[in-house]
Amino acid sequence: MTVLVHQPDVSFVIAAYNAEDTIERAIGSALAQIGVTMEVIVVDDCSTDGTRELVRAYRDERVRLVTREKNGGPAAARNIGFDVAIGRWIAVLDSDDTIHPERLLAMLERAEAAEAQIVVDNIDVVPLDLGEPTTMFSREELRRRPVMTLADFIGSNVIFQSTFNFGYMKPVFERDFLTRHELSFDETLRVGEDYLLLASALACGGRCAVVPDVGYVYHLRHGSISRVLEQSHLDAMLASDRAFLARYTLDAKAMAAQRRRTRSIVEAASFLTLVEEIKKGSVRGFLKTAIENPRALKHLRMPIAVRMRRLLGNGWRQIKSDRLGRGRPPERTKEWI
pLDDT at 162: 76
pLDDT at 231: 82
**pLDDT greater than 70 at residue 142:** yes
Please write down the HEC assignment for all residues of 212-243.
EEEEEEEECCCCCHHHCCCHHHHHHHHHHHHH
**pLDDT greater than 80 at residue 274:** no
- Mean pLDDT for all residues in the chain: 83
pLDDT at 163: 76
**pLDDT greater than 50 at residue 179:** yes
Query: Which residue in 297, 306, 276, 268 sits closest to 161, CA to CA?
Result: 268
pLDDT at 326: 37
Please write down the HEC assignment for all residues of 313-337.
CHHHHHHHHHHHHCCCCHHHHHHHC
- Percentage of the chain exceeding pLDDT 90: 65
**pLDDT greater than 60 at residue 258:** yes
pLDDT at 268: 81
**pLDDT greater than 90 at residue 101:** yes
How far apart are alpha carbons 126 and 292 in whole angstroms?
39
* Average pLDDT value for residue range 292-300: 51
Provide the pLDDT confidence category of residue 284 given band limits of 50, 70 and 90.
low
Provide the pLDDT confidence category of residue 271 given band limits of 50, 70 and 90.
confident
Torsion angle, alpha carbons of 229, 231, 232, 238, to 10: 100
Provide the pLDDT confidence category of residue 192 given band limits of 50, 70 and 90.
confident
Q: Which SS3 state, helix, strand or coil, does residue 175 take? A: helix
pLDDT at 160: 76
Provide the pLDDT confidence category of residue 236 given band limits of 50, 70 and 90.
confident
Give first-to-last CA distance, the chain, whole Å: 61
How far apart are alpha carbons 99 and 172 in whole angstroms?
13
Poorest-pLDDT segment among 101-105, 141-145, 173-177, 222-226: 222-226
For 326-337, what is each residue's pLDDT tens digit?
333 333 222 222
For 25-83, what is each residue's pLDDT tens digit?
999 999 999 999 999 999 999 999 999 999 999 999 999 999 999 999 999 999 999 99
Q: Which helix (H) or strand (E) holds 189?
A: none
pLDDT at 276: 64
Poorest-pLDDT segment among 28-42, 87-101, 204-218, 263-277: 263-277
